[in-house]
Amino acid sequence: MNPREKLEVVCAKAWSPVVEEPLGEWVLRWADGFTGRANSARAVGDPGIPVPSALDAVCEFAHAHGIPAAVQVLEGSELEREVATAGWREQVEHAAGYRVSVLTGPLPSGPFPDADVLDEPTPEWWELTEGTAAPSSAQRHVVTAGKVGYGVVAADRVTAGAVRGAIVDGWLHVARLAVAPSFRRRGLATTVLHALAAWGRAHGADQWVLQVAVGNAGALALYGALGCSEHHRYRYWGPGPGTCEDRQS
Ligand SMILES: CC(C)(COP(=O)(O)OP(=O)(O)OC[C@H]1O[C@@H](n2cnc3c(N)ncnc32)[C@H](O)[C@@H]1OP(=O)(O)O)[C@@H](O)C(=O)NCCC(=O)NCCS
């Protein structure tokens, strides 16, 4: 695998679906619809069968699990061209943004005393990051799997910012960053990310990796200010007319 593919595997390990089935080096994933990453096929590496047949297998898996068929593919790769040739199309309707920039950077050094990283998510953490204090079992599974820390930062005596960090193969994978709207542009995201970085260093990581929709200019500016730069991009593709879409009920 090339460095982009290897980093995709790191990111995937940080975000475990509820069901995963290998298809050669690809992985078919389901998590009851919670996030594109956990409900699309990770189309990285060799599926071991011709790409059109692999895409048919993606469709069969998706239909069996009641989710729309989707593959997560490296932007500009030979595989992406094959997916397009098979009649699939960019999944522009993907709610969180179908085109994603993967950023990396060195972890900043502390000490950063103004935020906490917890071993368990609090109701306030869930509320901020997922919009509910009572997550579904699939949400709970995906978010809590692995070596995970839950960053929280308070302002005006409430939890105003939250983030998830996962340790994978010496990387700190960052996800679910959220600051309550009325507390934005006060440095709280920076503060909680600094605390998470210190936690990551304490658990053996020296770089972080983040996945950001290319349209999220605020988050991209924030991560750029923290020293991150783009490593590569991926996109979601779904079946086009005349492919497995026609077989969906
Ligand atoms: C992105 C987000 C977490 C930023 O939180 P924040 O607490 O406002 O960020 P900070 O105050 O620490 O910002 C630090 C710097 O990042 C940049 N930045 C942050 N938000 C920005 C925005 N909306 N537009 C432009 N630049 C922004 C600025 O350079 C800012 O410094 P400045 O305020 O001195 O100009 C917040 O807007 C949010 O929760 N958005 C919705 C969820 C989201 O997009 N999460 C990220 C998913 S990858």
Give the helix/strand (H/E) hosting 59. Answer: helix 51-65
Rg (CA), the chain: 18
Longest dimension (CA), the chain: 57
Cβ neighbours of residue 131 closer than 8 Å, sequence gap 6 or more: none
Contact 189, 222 (CB under 8 A): yes
Cα(249)–Cα(247) distance, rounded to whole angstroms?
6
Whether the predicted pLDDT of 245 surpasses 60: no
User: For ligand 1, what atom is nearest to the CA of residue 174?
Assistant: 48
Q: What is the pLDDT of residue 198?
A: 94
* Cα-to-centroid distance, 176 and ligand 1 (Å): 13
Q: Compute CA distances 201 → 25, 27, 155, 189, whole Å.
A: 30, 30, 25, 18
Q: pLDDT digit string (tens) for 69-84? A: 999 999 999 999 999 9
Q: What is the pLDDT of residue 95?
A: 82
Whether the predicted pLDDT of 154 surpasses 60: yes
What CATH number does the domain located at 108-205 have?
3.40.630.30
* Cα-to-centroid distance, 177 and ligand 1 (Å): 10
Q: pLDDT digit string (tens) for 48-69? A: 999 999 999 999 999 999 999 9
CATH 3.40.630.30 boundaries in the chain = 108-205
Q: pLDDT digit string (tens) for 159-215? A: 999 999 999 999 999 999 999 999 999 999 999 999 999 999 999 999 999 999 999
